Structure 1
């Protein structure tokens, strides 16, 4: 992933700047950007290029932002899939975050355009900290915008626990302003936006579970399909920890009468970058039908050898007396932008209406040994 920030891309960025600003020294920018680049990882490379932008773009931030704005390519479709091509704008976003804080108006204008090509969720947080009231009012405006990227930024940028970003302590302490904004987006027509709303509520639930329970209980009443999905996804962490209020909102049975059979994990030894698959059967031992919220937790090994649990939803279903339902899931050990994997013993649990049922273990190794 880090290799996207290469000589070829830096030359492209330089050409784009040069096309809108004939005074831009493309050769010097390229040389400066390439100094020490190969020693850096993904974010470090983007920050390094952003620092080179600071040297060769106009000194006044408003003028630099105008060059960036004029150099941008077409908007992304509002699908939420930010691929490698969109990552090319990470240096631009980091430039705004680091060098644009003293020019609020120009920074907000260019972030509104950048988020349509990549995402400004990381840079906007610095403005929410420095200009809390003013930036919050802008987020409310964007929440009502016709552009789905801006509506999504209004939610994603205000997540108290956004991954890869400093926490927004003010909203972590008092998330009610965030809830007020999310009320405007709860029936958004675009799944990309609704997913951000659900993730935001899931963040808030880690510090204020009762507030999220209250919100989701209210939202679940006569909810259209899109909002029902938000509620289900927003409550996932609370369901995984056995919160009975969350389980009841989703229609789950308390203390379901079930047993598991046919558990299999294959392969049980998997190389980094590979896949393994878990399968099991849920058998009802109750005399009546039961509503089950079924997922699984993988206890991923971290770099220091400890583990971190991550919950994945599987299915929500009704199981009848004596019925057996087969379930399976494939787990990828490929490196992602949001998750790295490490060798070691990984535990898997089925989570059914908040109750953990051990499924077994699989071992992640660096490579398969080949017999001599």
Structure 2
């Protein structure tokens, strides 16, 4: 089983932060800082650990907030790069980037009256961790000034900073409070997304897609209209971005979203040779799900193929999870194989429970039963 998330801020993190801060500011009282953190630290979960460290930082950093923010920035290690796949690369650091979660909490809580110093700190922080959480209070309390700064950052040379422009303004960002103004009026952030939709970094484009997906949950017409505009003369990376951004609507079989992607709501395909193997599995095993799609018509057919697994829950009911498979163009008379291997390992994001798990193939939003596997 995966380690609990709280181990991202294990007991080696506070001493490491203390050493980093003291390196930048020799007057920092490391011993008092650690004494404040220690009581009951082991019993705290991730976010509570971050808050405990942030509170200790507030106590022991200079009480002049701009100076304290400068100390935090000076204490940070060099920025992360990007690897060959365009993903964040922390190099050989002996710690998780979550070491900077308390820094984010400090900036979000204490920098609001010091906008310029706080923006400079977030610009530095997001290159080492992310400032997507701590920028949200600034969007709530200094919306105009923060959006103006984000417009500038959309042109920044650093991909981590450009990603913040999209990720920090997401109305439904996971682990973060909602942004009611942006949820009610997504047009506030759309110019930022438009500026980033062809970003050279896949890391940035994925954030734009996720932001479009947030919009789709509250304003499906706007999301589909934006998708149609972006798809005009779109290069392949932008097409992929739009497909990812509309995935919520596609999973629901939304006719407008399917039409925007150039696929019909209904498909005339035969599902053949469906297999769910093994039919009985244990927690920790793998299950392979396969099927063949045959086009019996004289016309080519475009289909978005997804896999829906109804995972058994602790109360005995089931909750569906949809996995994206492929977008397929199937020629007349052709047969195409689709499939996926499911890991049944316990994870921090999913707990597996015994019982019968129903499996469906979803074609252009319409489910087709494939069978089931029994988990024990």
TM-score (norm 2): 0.89
Structure 1 pair 306/197, CA: closer, same or farther in 2 (3 Å)? farther
Structure 1 pair 254/140, CA: closer, same or farther in 2 (3 Å)? same
Matches within 5 A, 1:1-372: 1-78=5-82, 79-81=86-88, 85-268=96-279, 275-301=286-312, 307-334=318-345, 339-345=349-355, 346-362=357-373
Per-residue Cα deviation, 1:245-304 (whole angstroms, up to 9, x for no partner)? 222222223411112222233345555565433222222232322111111233445566
Uncovered stretches (5+) of structure 2, i.e. residues with no partner: none
CA RMSD of aligned residues (A): 2.2
Q: What SS class does the counterpart of residue 132 from structure 2 fall into?
A: coil
- Report deviation, 1:25: 0.9
Per-residue Cα deviation, 1:294-332 (whole angstroms, up to 9, x for no partner)? 112334455666554333221111112332222111233
d(CA) in 1 for partners of 2:297 and 2:286? 35
d(CA) in 2 for partners of 1:134 and 1:272? 51
- Report deviation, 1:11: 1.4
Q: What SS class does the counterpart of residue 192 from structure 1 fall into?
A: helix
Uncovered stretches (5+) of structure 1, i.e. residues with no partner: 366-372
On the 8 A contact 2:286/2:343 being kept in 1, the answer is: yes
- Report deviation, 1:157: 0.5
d(CA) in 1 for partners of 2:359 and 2:25? 55
Which stretch shows the higher mean deviation, 26-35 or 150-159?
Answer: 26-35
- Report deviation, 1:54: 1.5
Which stretch shows the higher mean deviation, 298-307 or 238-247?
Answer: 298-307
